[in-house]
Structure 1
Amino acid sequence: MNTITLSKPISKDGNEITALNLDFDKITGNKIIAAEKEARLLGDTTPDACYSKTFQAILAAKAAAESVVVDDILGLSGSDFIQITNTVSNFLFNWALPVSAQAS
């Protein structure tokens, strides 16, 4: 699980979320496909969804242990948004590395 401390908390239902815990173990192929479909419905036209910040934000919301939606992720400060989407990007693209590179 990846924990990202937010510089500006998310206010949700009278509660403040100060960190997001991204659990990529709960991400399945079905969730990845659903995230891509959602990104397309939001108007994203990036040829490969893995490079899309919209797709990455949706996947972050799906991976979060906290009850957040994509609009919560999109509403983060720029620095928090980049940190979250970079974490998702690392999850997506570490799969593409050769096994020997992953072990380093």
Structure 2
Amino acid sequence: METLKLSKPIMINGEEVTELPYDFENLTAKDKLNASKKMKAAGIPLSIPETDPDYHLYLFAEAVCKVNSAIDITDIMRMSAKDADKAASLARSFFYLDLAE
């Protein structure tokens, strides 16, 4: 399990949160499908998974929820844009950077 340190804290369940633990290693195929379903439900079309930063952000959200089920996708979507970019980059690096090699 790793942690993303937020540049701007967010409120989650009445508490100020400065870092988000996440766990990509234990995500399942179902978790990946849930990420794409949540995107579609939010009205965000999925393009090419390897290059879609929105999908990467949703994967990160699934990884956070895997560690702490009290955190919801709506909590993750309140992150600053800068933190969201970092989070999406973490997911892209974990899932897709090795595919180019």
TM superposition score category, shorter chain reference = 0.7 to 0.9
- Residue 30 (structure 1) shift: 1.0
User: Which of 82, 85, 96 is residue 82 of structure 1 equivalent to?
Assistant: 85
- Residue 52 (structure 1) shift: 2.7
CA contact (8 A) 2:46 2:55 kept: no
Query: Where does the alignment leave 5 or more consecutive residues of structure 1 unmatched?
Result: 99-104
RMSD (Å), alpha carbons: 1.8
Runs of 4+ in 1 over 6 A off after TM superposition: none
Partner of 1:7: 7
CA contact (8 A) 1:57 1:70 kept: no
CA contact (8 A) 1:56 1:88 kept: yes
* Mapped pair 1:16 → 2:19: no
Q: How many correspondences in the alignment?
A: 98
* Mapped pair 1:57 → 2:57: yes
Separation (CA, whole Å) in 1 of partners of 2:11 and 2:4: 16
- What amino acid does structure 2 have at the position aligned with 1:86? S
- What amino acid does structure 2 have at the position aligned with 1:90? S
**Aligned CA distance change for structure 1 residues 29 and 95 (closer, same or farther; 3 Å):** farther
Separation (CA, whole Å) in 2 of partners of 1:82 and 1:70: 15
Query: Where does the alignment leave 5 or more consecutive residues of structure 2 unmatched?
Result: none
**Bigger Rg, structure 1 or 2:** 1
CA contact (8 A) 1:3 1:22 kept: yes
Q: Secondary structure at the match of 2:71?
A: coil
Identity, in percent, stands at 26
TM-score by length of 2: 0.80
TM-score by length of 1: 0.78
Q: Secondary structure at the match of 1:19?
A: strand
Separation (CA, whole Å) in 1 of partners of 2:57 and 2:2: 15
Higher relative contact order (CA 8 A, sep 6+): 2
